[in-house]
Structure 1
């Protein structure tokens, strides 16, 4: 078909109009972020693309949108994308372009935090260790070498996003961008150079011309036009540094991270909702949950020498992508209530009334027709009844009620009515549950390393591990030799900044040690036999993530830097610190990639050695049936790393036991901190490790390879799936009770049903009202065999409770999935 010139012009105009229609103008005033000129309430949540897999992204984003989110926030992880200078990686879970396109496909906005320093409990704060090779380099200050490298990487990412038309003015989802990260917390020691640097950051960000507002979190002196924002558990008292900047909460900490040797922190849904409601009551209009899905620290990504492989963060979507109830549902209801009065919150006149004793009311009035009210009780212990505008409202302690029309309460932060789900781990149904995994093994080849051979280079000093290994491996060998006049027993003393140390003398392991409770600076002292003549000393220093926070944190040492390393025998002390030391990066198994299932590689079967350090184990397993997330239980293992079909699922350390103290009862009332609400005291810091289903091969054997550094026993290792085991829900008369399972599972039984005033919590209810067989049968008929069910609590149900006072009672149901 031949087209006329006029037809081509018409087509071109139509395409241009289409593109213009899809573009989004993002601006702001002192009240809110504006989308196409309209002030908006924006509810965002953090999902870090490298802490999940591309196959997980659509489901995570769908659940986030169903939970009432408008936007997804993520950092950009520099050391993941540029592992070696000018060598870039954007594949797999580092395919950041695909991630933003998935956000757009889900109908969500995006917030990009370039950093490129990110903190994020990420290895070295997201900064590549190879930067330490550059002469004159100083991190995060007015240093030309740092600015050059930072600008190079940030410009690369910005240009990639532009090329894919991912910024809102191009029709993409990204509506905000951040430069640097929490610099105000640590800028003091940098003095004037810190102030100059932050001004440079602002100018550089503007020069990228992305067409969006820029933010700087925790930066009270952020230069204009940067918008300074708040991070923390509560940000209602935060005030921006400029009247033309809206009040933005960049990180609302939904929980806290897991750490080796520490119990699991949890933040109650009631307190979290209280914090959000107070923020919007105080004229906030954009808040971001950190994290909405925490995910998993695959491979070697934890930051600091303390973060576990799990980065669950007690988020609304748990590490595996499951909906965490009641937190997810309670927040969803909060978001819906806030959206009912979006116009009033962003355009209305504000009137605050303080009633004393922590009780206050805020009314947003717009056009004499639209209004919205918050009634809050910030008292930590005393409930209150407030008479407001001719009506009385009951306000539990530490709660906020939301009245979208300033008349009827539709939500109270302390009244959780959404489902509670108790998650369980179930055996792998793909195999006979009684059968054990069949293991083979092979040793880590230590011969050359413990003999002082095969070093990469030598120095007459004890060097820093970071500037020697440049984070290419957790492991660095320090090797030397010493002449001893006669055979004798001597004490080897090694001062190290660790985090773990294994000492060998003449090929024999003589001692291993790590610094407990996060105290990674320690001294190893071990007695060993030395022969007359030359003796070989090999010290294997191990890091468990690099420090990620603080002013000039890159100068903090790791490894046996400086020592001293000494031999002590009788009255003689031999200082080996300035000996000729040979250095070797990594393990033999890492270099030969033992974790890949190579059929030509020799593995031993038969009797499997246990409690043997520096051992590789391998087994095969069938993919668990169903759709539920898969975990591997590594109970019995010591310390090391795990691979499934060649994919690194992270470091393991299940024998690092959490402190036995700190798991007391949890009251949501009062200011939250990570130590307030904890579980898991006296248990392994982490026992279950996420195996994404995209790592598995349905219908054929999968390979699990473990490197055991400290000594463990794989006999108890097994695969399980994670799903809802018990679901509980309650609702008052006239309301609807909802129950649901997940992963295609259905409700198999109603365990408990009571209308009245039952006591206890999910998994431990006690009767307290009408328990007629008719009520139980009606609920069972409505729910059993279904993945979800809804029950309208009306006379058809409550009428079965003859003689009971149903005016103020609730229906409580507990079901098994």
Structure 2
């Protein structure tokens, strides 16, 4: 009896040893022949949906994957964002919400196949398209080219990705069936040598499954972004018949797949909120299902771009278009993980096209939502109280030159003359609030192409420019030199402004903020507390505030801005706790509001449609 007990205890100890190799899983084969994908030698149709594990709290990964499978999808696709995994050169982070290997293992447990999109470029309305900002510290380095310094950094990163994920390929008992080479490169360039270097780095990293490229279905995009020995797929948001006809003219006798099919779209600050059209989605997905054409919904579930990680775009009309923190995307599963009418419509549609032996799981219960009664933030602290240890230079330095990735830089200099005249800058990236002696003098807004402003300055006091990085451009040729901060030269009344002091404000640690009872003029932090008897997801209602950022219990939820469309920030249940909770709001532009509440539904509106809200 004693021997049996010892044996049992030893067995239990073995089972719980940290780092013990997982039990063996059956291996599979996946590839393609002619116009069909083949799984274990049999034709297979990918019914995929995209969700980004970095936009979802780790505690919600399994719930979201179960929702994906219950809609009838069999594959999940996800990006990796390089800037999260290598925040500093050679320092890698695959822990917590960055633990892609655990996300893939959960997908396997839930009976899903996985498509990995490691970049190095992701786009995805993510800061700098996923590139780490330290690439821009080298003045003449060009991302997405054959620049050997850039290619060396890419190779190092992809090899680390391989260490995390190569053991989880179908060939080794994992669920990973395909890996993407770069991303929509034909929309950017046509350097096939560069594309080959990314392909080779992936192979050297241990990826032996099917590699593929994804591009729009135009001759230019397909010609620039594909490689002869890599499977191409196409991205589009409507007209599958026309897109696949164009694709067939480029390359035939390969599987047809919509690598990204868009059921919705993303939002820019100051624009209208986007929603999808259910009838169009049903028509296009139905067309592909009837023809056994593979697809992946971009997005199935968008989630949230927490913290400073939103990207930006530009257009002929607007030089800069920062993205909102919400990445709801009009997706079938909304930002909080709840099924929408599009979810149920697609589930019914896919249910009519299941393979023999397939059944749809029941739809899981959506996550609970809670409303938080309105409460007042009664403590404040000025932002400039954090100013310390300035960097001095003759000219203003960019954020990258200051070894800073995100947040703010406070620039200070004495102007060469006094009185009323024009301040001119090389560029402002992306919003500058201008002060003298704490008095606001004006704003330079990159969205409006503003590079000059008339100021009336007094003698004897320096002028301050608080410059915020509102998200690096993530798409198009302008992203290659998307440095942040105040870019010179700077002139006042035609005379150069020299000898600057620069204060770094990354705001990645608020422990130095000292709050006291009472109010402070913007820019300032405001703090309040609230008590919860039970927890759930909630939307923090920021209507009545101006522009800034919100932290809950130390977690950076993202940005708010009265111009809309987003007016409330999602706070996941896992970041709330029973009992006392703390909220900190950085208000940059307005003093009207000092209270917040939690809602069970998001709020989308533009400044023009919002009712006036007084101070509470």
Residue 306 in 1 paired to residue 344 in 2? no
Is contact 1:121–1:302 with CA below 8 Å preserved after alignment? yes
Aligned in 2, Cα 1:217/1:536: closer, same or farther, shift over 3 Å? same
Other structure's SS at 2:105 match: helix
Shift, 1:58, TM fit: 1.1
Shift, 1:270, TM fit: 1.1
Shift, 1:503, TM fit: 1.5
Aligned partner of 2:136 in structure 1 is 132
Aligned partner of 1:118 in structure 2 is 122
Shift, 1:203, TM fit: 3.4
Question: CA–CA distance in 2 between the matches of 1:604 and 1:582?
Answer: 28
Aligned partner of 1:362 in structure 2 is none
Q: Deviations over 1:40-68 (max 9, x none)?
A: 11111011011110111111111111110
Aligned partner of 1:183 in structure 2 is 185
Match of 1:265 among 274, 291, 299: 274
Is contact 2:392–2:499 with CA below 8 Å preserved after alignment? no
Residue 500 in 1 paired to residue 431 in 2? yes
Question: CA–CA distance in 2 between the matches of 1:293 and 1:720?
Answer: 20
Match of 1:456 among 386, 391, 394: 391
Q: RCO greater where, 1 or 2, for CA within 8 Å and sep 6 or more? A: 2
Residue 690 in 1 paired to residue 583 in 2? no
What TM-score, normalized by structure 1, do the two folds share?
A: 0.64
Aligned in 2, Cα 1:424/1:701: closer, same or farther, shift over 3 Å? closer
Residue 704 in 1 paired to residue 613 in 2? no
Aligned partner of 1:198 in structure 2 is 195
What TM-score, normalized by structure 2, do the two folds share?
A: 0.84
1:527-676 → structure 2 map (5 Å cutoff): 527-531=455-459, 534-551=460-477, 553-567=479-493, 573-576=494-497, 579-586=498-505, 590=507, 593-594=509-510, 596=511, 602-605=514-517, 607-609=518-520, 612-623=521-532, 625=534, 627=536, 629-653=537-561, 655-656=562-563
Question: CA–CA distance in 1 between the matches of 2:558 and 2:415?
Answer: 37
Other structure's SS at 1:154 match: helix
Aligned partner of 1:294 in structure 2 is 302
Aligned in 2, Cα 1:488/1:340: closer, same or farther, shift over 3 Å? closer
Question: CA–CA distance in 2 between the matches of 1:135 and 1:473?
Answer: 18
Other structure's SS at 1:650 match: strand
Q: Runs of 4 or more off by more than 4 Å in structure 1?
A: 340-343, 423-426, 487-491
Further displaced range: 206-215 or 85-94: 206-215
Q: Deviations over 1:69-124 (max 9, x none)?
A: 10110011100111111112222221212111111121111100111100000000
Is contact 1:636–1:713 with CA below 8 Å preserved after alignment? yes
Question: CA–CA distance in 1 between the matches of 2:473 and 2:26?
Answer: 43
Aligned in 2, Cα 1:645/1:426: closer, same or farther, shift over 3 Å? closer
Other structure's SS at 1:686 match: coil
Aligned in 2, Cα 1:213/1:440: closer, same or farther, shift over 3 Å? same
Question: CA–CA distance in 2 between the matches of 1:49 and 1:56?
Answer: 9
Question: CA–CA distance in 2 between the matches of 1:143 and 1:513?
Answer: 34
Question: CA–CA distance in 2 between the matches of 1:424 and 1:22?
Answer: 37
Is contact 2:159–2:204 with CA below 8 Å preserved after alignment? no
Shift, 1:715, TM fit: 3.5
Which protein shows a greater Rg? 1
Q: CA RMSD in A?
A: 2.9
Unmatched runs of 5 consecutive residues or more in structure 2: 5-20, 216-220, 313-320, 603-616
Question: CA–CA distance in 2 between the matches of 1:220 and 1:641?
Answer: 40
Is contact 1:472–1:585 with CA below 8 Å preserved after alignment? no
Question: CA–CA distance in 2 between the matches of 1:438 and 1:613?
Answer: 14
Shift, 1:551, TM fit: 2.7
Q: Deviations over 1:689-741 (max 9, x none)?
A: 1000000112x201011111112344441112349xxxxxxxxxxxxxxxxxx
Other structure's SS at 2:464 match: strand
Other structure's SS at 1:103 match: helix
Question: CA–CA distance in 1 between the matches of 2:92 and 2:368?
Answer: 40
Question: CA–CA distance in 1 between the matches of 2:68 and 2:263?
Answer: 14
Corresponding residue pairs, total: 557
